[in-house]
Each structure stands twice: as C-alpha cells, then as structure tokens.
C-alpha cells in the first residue's frame, strides 16, 4: 500500500511540474511595440496601469458600460478593432462585456495573478491587457463574457 501511495504521489508531482508556467518561454513579439517611456507618453496614467501593467479599473467607472450606440470598440493603445457593439451586452458586472471579439484581434493568455488560472484577454497587435474571459456569458450565443476595462477601449460610432 505504501508503494502505491508513493507512486501516486510521484505521479501527481510530475503532473504538477508539467503544468507549471515555463519561465524560459520566449517573450511574444507584437506588430506594435514601444518602450515603457513611449507608452507613458501615449497613454493616460490609468490607461498605462491597465493596458501595460495588467491593472483593473473600478467597476461601474467606465462610460462604455452603459454605451448602447452602434459602432466598434478599438484598442486605446494601438487602435486595432477589437469588439463590435452588436456583441456587447449588460452582464451586470460593472465592466463593458462582450460575448465575442473580432476574430484574430484578441489574444487569449493565462493569468495566475490571483493564485489560479484565469483567461486573460490581450490586444493581438500590441499585447495590451484588456480584461478577462469567463464562461458565464449569454448561453444563447457563445456562453462567454469578455469582461473588458473601459479605459482599454475607444469607441468609433457607426456612420
């Protein structure tokens, strides 16, 4: 019995080691890259904290949370189109929420900042942090909730 228990423990340890973050992973390069100084000149302090340092704005602080106009939401850092207003919905979370992104423009990554894995959403053009994805979105569409910081976005009204 002791041999079985020690074998199982060894298997669990090997399995956990295989799932750990690989610190030797090469840093991804993006089409738009700037120095920290350049980003600080381009962005407001809050935008820099969210977009470049993966911060979070206060819930219910963004005017985009209640924006019901037709148009496109773009990355505040590089102006890449990220979300269409037709995919925005009121999640009640306090942040602008969408059930899907414009295909290919939002990157999914893994964030362990709270001690467990969460799906982080980043601009696929400049790598800016946008927010997180959750599986509690509208079941009639994708079932996803892209919970996005309003300061990470700019809105372009439809013509």
First to last CA, the chain: 72
Tokens 């799932």, residue located: 19
Q: Is 147 a catalytic residue?
A: yes
Cα distance between residue 118 and residue 109, in whole Å? 8
Alpha-helix residue ranges (DSSP H) falling in 43-111: 45-47
Sign of CA dihedral 143, 78, 114, 19: positive
The alpha-carbon radius of gyration of the chain (Å, integer) is 19
Token couple for 39: 């980003």
Find the helix or strand (DSSP H, E) in which 11 lies. helix 2-19
Which residues are designated catalytic? 147
């Amino acid at each position: 019995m002791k041999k079985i228990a020690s074998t199982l423990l060894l298997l669990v340890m090997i399995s956990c080691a295989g799932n750990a973050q690989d610190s030797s992973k090469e840093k991804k390069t993006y089409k738009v890259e700037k120095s920290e100084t350049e980003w600080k000149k381009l962005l407001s302090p809050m935008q820099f904290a969210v977009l470049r340092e993966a911060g979070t704005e206060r819930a219910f602080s963004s005017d985009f949370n209640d924006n019901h106009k037709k148009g496109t939401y773009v990355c505040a850092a590089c102006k890449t189109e990220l979300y269409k207003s037709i995919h925005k919905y009121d999640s009640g979370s306090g942040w602008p929420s969408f059930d899907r992104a414009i295909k290919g423009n939002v990157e999914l990554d893994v964030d362990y900042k709270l001690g467990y894995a969460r799906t982080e959403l980043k601009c696929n053009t400049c790598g800016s942090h946008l927010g997180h994805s959750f599986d509690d979105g509208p079941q009639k569409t994708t079932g996803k909730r892209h919970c996005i910081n309003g300061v990470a976005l700019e809105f372009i009204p439809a013509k």
